[in-house]
Chain A
């Protein structure tokens, strides 16, 4: 009796863990099955190589996503240009320079920053960052790719800081001691020994930051202006993959080509997120092999 009970409990826990696999497979299947139906009306070529997205145009709707992909990667690139130096610098400070007391304050602060809802950051993009950008560049509106990049940098910063910090702290003390023994200063040791030794972990943090920025919806939806045209610079309004789904899914009739095309956009996002994860895992796996 009690043997049976133990087995049942074991099986129950297994089912719970296994459900994660089912959910991931379910998301994948759901996207594929719905996305495929979009391609009954839209050719692969028009979807992946077209630069115009205008599904509600009368007579000749167009479903090109190139400009959305450009927008997504542009805002992400801008965000990384800001967040990577800032995040790695802050991580190095927390890991190697700050006193334990300062660290006790900084770490929870970064954690709280990670917890700020994206819609709040998007809101500040509209009321705070937008007017600043408009003033600085003499524009009528500050809702553009630059604004999105700044906000995405804020969103990605905590990920980059905490993962980089772990990587820097994981560098064996022997490395640093050897460097000190050779007469190197603390600064030289940090820049020439510790950070290069932690490079793989830092790279992984950047990849994870990219993942966050690509998948982020509300901040870019609120702060980038959402123009569907191909952007030519950071002061242009852009509309990312995520924002397109968020704007249009609520209004589109179920079962139309437009409806399924939005799932195809979702599938593209899903594939990008899997790719990002794979790269991050390859980097950390390589790192583990090297440190062994």
Chain B
């Protein structure tokens, strides 16, 4: 009996240790970046161009580039993804075609990001003739984000009670009217949460933009969708591996990492809060 107690305490202690280590990893990542990155963060760092071979100055073009490319990603993947989710959740029963579509979505989610990069080169950069541009990169990231948007949107739609639909149908509303007035408004917070999480992943991606439009250094901000751009993740990659003096620019690399992390974490936090509030509301 005593031995069993010992085993149980030890066992549960071990499991707790696993959980603690997992959270500790997150803690180490955030604290290391936050403390060392904070030293270089200043108004100038956020609003200035890189200077003197990136050893001085700021990261403004990388911040603007990441915002722009994520915006294009959103414009492409959210409408397409939500429409696909509406079809899967509202318009169809499980048949052969739907099973195929679902399998395609699951497989797309598993395709390595660098393969999306190859696809982006062939389709957008060359095929459509968009060249290496913020548009090509945004669309490539949009493809990558699409399966995520569809899956999370479908979950949000499925969470809306059946009776909401039946109520509208009973009043003679058509299918689309029902969806527009009695389903989408209630699924909206869930869809938004999923979309923000998906976009936060896209904003931090590097591999798909490597060959589709991101640039080492550009002395001006992009003014058209066909311009090349700088991006935070790529800037961090360049500073830590490709720069001729990686030790000298290490503080700037930390600062870049902090800004990237702050953008991504802020989006994550926003999504988590939105979901928390939506859940509370549904419970009432």
Contacts and interface: CB of A to CB of B under 8 A. Distances in A.
Interface stretch (A48-56, A111-119, A174-182): A111-119
Interface stretch (A21-29, A62-70, A133-141, A228-236): A21-29
B174 A27 contact: no
Interface string A269-292: 110011011000100000000000
Given A119-B236, A124-B32, A222-B241, A13 B83 contact: yes
A20 B146 contact: yes
Contacts of B50: none
Contacts of B106: 277, 281
Interface residues of A, number: 85
A21 B101 contact: yes
Contact of A270 (B19, B115, B241, B260): B115
Nearest to B176: A9
B19 A122 contact: no
A19 B80 contact: yes
Contacts of B116: 27
Nearest to A112: B268
Interface residues of B, number: 85
B114 interface: yes
A6 B87 CA distance: 13
A276 to B, nearest CB: 6
Most A CB contacts (10 A, CB to CB) among B117, B206, B250, B265 go to B206
B134 interface: no
A127 B240 contact: yes
Contact of A115 (B80, B121, B176, B200): B200
Interface in A93-144: 93-94, 97-98, 106, 108-113, 115-124, 126-128
28 contacts: A2-B174, A13-B91, A14-B87, A16-B84, A24-B107, A24-B108, A24-B111, A85-B18, A90-B15, A92-B15, A97-B12, A109-B23, A110-B22, A115-B200, A115-B268, A117-B204, A117-B233, A118-B206, A187-B8, A188-B4, A215-B110, A215-B114, A217-B112, A217-B207, A222-B241, A245-B117, A274-B110, A281-B106
